């Protein structure tokens, strides 16, 4: 059967440098009857079929609940209704490589090429009797790139205000691009200085993938909901909330101001060099049409970045008011962005700030060095330990009494010191000896986007990737955090001894992305 063909405006426009408009639709819960639940989405798809202002509809995955309708099925329905290629989100929440492979096969069979892969936020309801696993978005990017000619989007959040949080986002962004991401979509946020920071950083580093900004119509009710429910990765400061509360006293409840700010933000994305926007929380055609008309008017009036910034600050503060602070603390990668008027400087005149100096004494670094020396003596190829233990380990029957005894010993040696969960593939040498199993999501390649002020999305610990970052920074090994692709742990290896697996040569391949790209392959 011939593969269905849909107009792929996202790929075409990003490839030719044209601005892209993507409208995100939150996939309904699986408990809702499908046809009725997606009726508003199909209505939007039919409206935009012949409307050149709209280029793709993005279909979310496991956002509303832990069990939403299948985004591939919903994406196929959208494509049939409007003839334009949708962007199907795939979440790694409670998923693995096998599920992703099946989803990619179904996407291809449905004629769908565009996807956004994300690790996913924490589950809303913890299932009893088992641990929820998360499939890291970097591994998903690499898997999708190897699977076929997909157009792959990945996420990045610049709205971080501690060195560790922020640099981890940018290092993981680099890893995603090296692994095969074709474009990026940012988290939703209202700190436009952070968006200028992101684009400046990418230009300085020579990254080529286009970036779209995530945007949302921010009303007072929506802001209250986000803050009350602490939606992962979204920052609304007290000052911005107070501004919205004040606007809500106006006759239109502040809706007019919210529309103008959103339209201004979208114009600002273009002025800052973004490739487009993805709008969430608005899918009624009449509201979208109203917004796009405002955007057109502002585009004609704000012809350069300086004029746009003046309009943006005015929209935030109102007449004769103090500026509204959109950042919880003024941490920017470029020093001038934290200073009055720094926003007005061209990107090429911004000064990269120095990274924080190592702590003294540095217990984290010393611990890392001690463990690395131990690993080098026992486990690395060519070491005295490997020369002795490799032939012995290969004689140990897999699953036998001796193998089980070694598993017991490994856990009792490593768990008190490192938090080992005997996953059967020890990633410690690639994670600065900070065990990924101590991350609630089990992520090895970098953090999710849900951290805030160096605190894990689960709220009960510092993000383990902050420790990884500090060790790598202080040891002069930051480049590894964006270059080393650590494979996921296969479920069949969990509960087995990593020592015997390692010496038997059963570890999955850990690769340097720069070496793969040098050989002419993307991932």
pLDDT digits (tens, 9 = 90+) for 482-515: 999 999 999 999 999 999 999 999 999 999 998 8
> What Rg value do the Cα atoms of the chain yield, rounded?
24
**Low-confidence spans in the chain with pLDDT less than 50:** 520-523
Closest CA to 343 of 369, 379, 366, 316: 316
Residues 6+ apart with CB under 8 A from 232: 121, 122, 448, 449, 450, 457
Specify which residues 153 forms β-bridges with: 116, 183
Alpha helices (runs of H) in 180-250, residue ranges in sequence order:
192-205, 220-229, 238-247
What DSSP character marks residue 29? B
Alpha helices (runs of H) in 302-348, residue ranges in sequence order:
305-317
**In the chain, how long is the greatest CA-to-CA distance?**
80
CA atoms within 13 A on the CB side of 311: 21
Q: What is the pLDDT of residue 130?
A: 86
Q: Are 64 and 96 in contact (CB under 8 A)?
A: no
Q: Are 442 and 134 in contact (CB under 8 A)?
A: yes
Q: What's the rounded Cα separation, in Å, for the pair 423 and 491?
A: 8
CA atoms within 13 A on the CB side of 160: 30
Specify which residues 90 forms β-bridges with: 117
Q: How many Cβ atoms from other residues are within 10 Å of residue 376's Cβ?
A: 15
Mean per-residue pLDDT over the chain, rounded: 93
Q: What is the pLDDT of residue 162?
A: 96
Helix axes 285-301, 255-271, angle to 10 degrees: 60
- Which run of H or E residues covers position 46? helix 39-48
Q: What is the pTM of this model?
A: 0.95
Q: Is 199 helix (H, G, I), strand (E, B) or coil?
A: helix
Phi, psi for residue 59 in degrees, rounded to 5: -110, 115
Handedness of CA 195, 211, 294, 22 (dihedral sign): negative
Report strand pairing: 511-512 vs 276-280: unpaired
State the SS3 of 10-25.
HHHHHHHCCCEEEEEE
Q: What's the rounded Cα separation, in Å, for the pair 440 and 356?
A: 27
* CB-count exposure of residue 448 (10 Å: 0-12, 13-18, 19+): buried
- Asked, as a colleague might, if the bond just before 270 is cis with ω within 30 of 0, I would say no
Give the residue extent of every domain in the chain.
363-518
Q: What is the pLDDT of residue 523?
A: 42
Q: What's the rounded Cα separation, in Å, for the pair 33 and 260?
A: 36
Token pair for residue 116? Answer: 């956004």
């Amino acid at each position: 059967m011939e593969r269905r063909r849909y107009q792929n405006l996202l790929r075409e426009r990003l490839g030719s440098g044209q601005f892209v408009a993507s409208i995100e639709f939150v996939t309904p819960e699986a408990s809702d009857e499908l046809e009725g639940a997606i009726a508003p989405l199909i209505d939007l798809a039919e409206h935009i079929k012949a409307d050149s202002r709209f280029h793709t509809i993005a279909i979310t995955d496991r956002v509303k609940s832990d069990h939403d309708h299948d985004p591939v099925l919903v994406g196929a329905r959208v494509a049939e209704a409007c003839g334009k290629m949708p962007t199907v989100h795939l979440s790694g929440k409670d998923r693995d490589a096998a599920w992703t492979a099946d989803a990619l096969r179904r996407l291809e069979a449905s004629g769908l090429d565009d996807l956004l892969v994300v690790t996913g936020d924490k589950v809303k309801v913890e299932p009893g009797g088992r641990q929820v696993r998360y499939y890291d978005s970097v591994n998903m990017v690499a898997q999708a790139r190897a699977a076929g000619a997909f157009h792959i989007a990945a996420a990045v959040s610049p709205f971080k205000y501690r060195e560790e949080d922020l640099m981890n986002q940018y290092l993981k962004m680099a890893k995603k691009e090296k692994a095969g991401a074709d474009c990026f979509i940012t988290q939703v946020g209202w700190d436009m200085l952070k968006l200028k920071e992101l684009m400046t950083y990418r230009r300085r580093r020579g990254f080529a993938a286009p970036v779209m900004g995530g945007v949302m119509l921010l009303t007072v009710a929506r802001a209250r909901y986000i803050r009350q429910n602490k939606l992962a990765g979204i920052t609304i400061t007290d000052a911005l909330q107070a501004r919205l509360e004040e606007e809500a006293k106006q006759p239109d409840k502040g809706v007019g101001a919210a529309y103008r700010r959103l339209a201004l933000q979208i114009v600002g994305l273009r002025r800052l060099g973004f490739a487009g926007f993805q709008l969430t929380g608005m899918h009624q055609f009449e509201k979208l049409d109203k917004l796009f008309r405002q955007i057109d008017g502002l585009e004609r009036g704000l012809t350069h970045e300086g004029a746009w910034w003046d309009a943006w600050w005015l929209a935030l503060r109102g007449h004769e008011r103090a500026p509204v602070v959109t950042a919880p603390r003024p941490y920017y990668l470029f020093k001038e962005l934290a200073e009055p008027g720094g926003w007005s400087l061209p990107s090429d005149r911004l000064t990269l700030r120095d990274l924080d100096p190592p702590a003294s004494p540095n217990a984290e670094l010393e611990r890392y060095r001690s463990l690395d020396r131990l690993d080098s003596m026992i486990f690395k190829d060519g070491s005295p330990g490997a020369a002795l233990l490799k032939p012995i380990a290969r004689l140990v029957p897999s699953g036998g009494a001796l193998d089980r005894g070694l598993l017991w010993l490994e856990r009792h040696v490593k768990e008190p010191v490192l938090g080992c969960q005997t996953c059967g593939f020890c990633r410690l040498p690639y994670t600065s000896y900070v065990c990924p199993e101590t991350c609630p999501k089990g992520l090895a390649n970098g953090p999710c986007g849900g951290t805030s002020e160096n605190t894990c999305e689960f709220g009960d610990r510092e993000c383990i990737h902050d420790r990884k970052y500090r060790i790598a920074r202080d040891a002069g090994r930051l480049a590894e955090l964006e270059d080393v692709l650590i494979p996921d742990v296969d479920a069949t290896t969990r509960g087995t001894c990593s020592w015997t697996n390692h010496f038997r040569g059963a570890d999955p391949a850990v690769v340097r992305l720069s070496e793969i790209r040098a050989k002419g392959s993307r991932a």
